[in-house]
Amino acid sequence: QVQLVQFGTEVKKPGASVKVSCKASGYTFSSYGISWVRQAPGQGLEWMGWISPYSGNTMYAEKFQGRLTVTTDTSTSTGYMELSSLRSDDTAVYFCARTIFGKFDYWGQGTLVTVS
């Protein structure tokens, strides 16, 4: 079965960077994109960026341009999201999601990033 596994919690200081991982299984990793979506406490969903593991092509929401890097390691079927210059308003749960033709059909369980 398709699974996207993310690990727990990160605590970072303002100005630092965080790198969150998302390990995929149960499907051909290179055949689907990976998107990153975040959710601040008590708030809605915010799309951040997307990558094609097959081509390495990326797209980022304008808000995160220059501060966000999404990558994949096809040898381990793992996606990564790195956000730099962290601020307190970056405190959120960060989800990865398998992406097919723009829809997010499977999601990781999320990683809580606290900036304090």
Partner 1 sequence: EMVLTQSPDTLSLSPGERATLSCRASQSVSNNNLAWYQQKSGQAPRLLIFGASSRATGIPDRFSGSGSGTDFTLTISRLEPEDFAVYYCQQYGSSVMYTFGQGTKLEIK
Provide the minimum distance between the beta carbon of 115 and partner 1 in the complex, in angstroms, as a whole number.
21
DSSP assignment letter at 14: T
Report if residue 108 touches partner 1, rule: CB under 8 A: yes
Report if residue 94 touches partner 1, rule: CB under 8 A: no
Report if residue 45 touches partner 1, rule: CB under 8 A: yes
- Outline where DSSP puts E strands in the chain: 3-5, 9-12, 18-25, 33-39, 46-51, 58-60, 68-73, 78-83, 92-100, 103-107, 111-115
Identified binder of partner 1 from the candidate list 35, 77, 78, 111, rule CB under 8 A: 35
Site string for partner 1, 49-68 (x = CB under 8 A): -x--------x-xx------
Among 8-16, 18-26, 70-78, 94-102, the segment contacting partner 1 (CB under 8 A): 94-102
HSE at residue 74, side-chain half, CA atoms within 13 A, is: 12
Residue type, 112: L
| Contact (Cβ atoms closer than 8 angstroms) between residue 58 and residue 70 | yes
Report if residue 47 touches partner 1, rule: CB under 8 A: yes
